[in-house]
């Protein structure tokens, strides 16, 4: 299952898994598998639609970058903080929480798409809301890895690269296809012995 499968990396991942013969559920705000990750009622309804269906891999990909290019002097309004955290942080947690029975049924894996911008070691400034939200979801992933280890559920957190998407822009370093190939390899390698990792799309450990 892939959240945020309407564009960019989400679409690429859905196509990649379908091409190799996997059964894929890709959520979008409107479509065959509708899910607004910021809406708790939508999560509950979506979980009911999957009742009893094992999920062997949940990819928490849905996210927003609302403060791109904002100025410290007059940007970052409170409403932007609230919306960003509702999607990038609470939305990830609710996706995992409501699908725990499905993940437990498969001893599944959870892949959280964070960012290098989550790192506290690399702090060049700017994008305060996005950086804070991605740092928060990195923290959530690390703690979930501890709590879910006894269930045999592995959790990994990943930087997908600077990717040529609407969010990353046309000047970004890698294509969606390159990111997807790397991420799929990372997810395939995720197991309880590697739970809690924070890695780049190409397999390098990322500083926290």
State the CATH architecture for 8-200. Answer: 3-Layer(aba) Sandwich (3.40)
79 confidence band (pLDDT: 50, 70, 90): very high
Q: How far is residue 191 from each of residues 87, 126, 168, measured CA to CA in Å?
A: 26, 35, 29
Residue 170 has pLDDT above 80, yes or no: no
CA distance 78 to 171: 30
Concatenating the DSSP letter of every residue in 9-69 gives: HHHHHHHHHHHTT----B-BSSSSSB--TT-HHHHHHHHHHTTT---SEEEE-----TTTT
**What is the average pLDDT across 163-170?**
73
pLDDT band at 25 (very low <50, low <70, confident <90, very high): very high
pTM of the model: 0.94
CB of 5 closer than 8 Å to CB of 173? no
Judge whether 157 and 208 are in contact, CB under 8 Å: no
Terminal-residue alpha carbon distance, the chain: 26
Q: Is the pLDDT of residue 172 over 80?
A: no
- To the nearest whole percent, how much of the chain has pLDDT over 90? 86
CA distance 69 to 91: 23
Q: What is the mean pLDDT of residues 105-116?
A: 96
- Do residues 189 and 202 make contact, with C-beta atoms less than 8 angstroms apart? no
CA atoms within 13 A on the CB side of 85: 13
């Amino acid at each position: 299952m892939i959240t945020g499968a309407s564009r960019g990396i989400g679409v690429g991942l859905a196509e990649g898994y379908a091409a190799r013969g996997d059964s894929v559920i890709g959520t979008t705000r409107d479509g065959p598998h509708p899910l607004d990750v910021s809406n708790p009622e939508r999560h509950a309804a979506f979980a009911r639609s999957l009742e009893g269906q094992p999920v062997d891999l949940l990819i928490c990909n849905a996210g927003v970058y609302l403060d791109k290019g904002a100025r410290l002097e007059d940007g970052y309004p409170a409403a932007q903080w609230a919306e960003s955290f509702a999607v990038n942080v609470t939305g990830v947690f609710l996706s995992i929480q409501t699908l725990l029975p499905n993940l437990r049924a498969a001893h599944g894996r959870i892949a959280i798409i964070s960012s290098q911008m989550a790192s506290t070691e690399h702090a060049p400034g700017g994008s305060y809301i996005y950086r804070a939200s991605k740092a928060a979801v990195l923290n959530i992933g690390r703690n979930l890895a501890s709590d879910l280890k006894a269930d045999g559920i592995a959790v990994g957190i990943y930087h997908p690269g600077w990717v040529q998407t609407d969010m990353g822009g046309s000047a970004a370093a890698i294509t969606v296809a390159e990111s997807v190939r790397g991420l799929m390899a990372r997810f395939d390698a995720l197991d309880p012995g590697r739970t809690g990792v924070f890695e780049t799309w190409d397999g390098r450990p990322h500083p926290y």
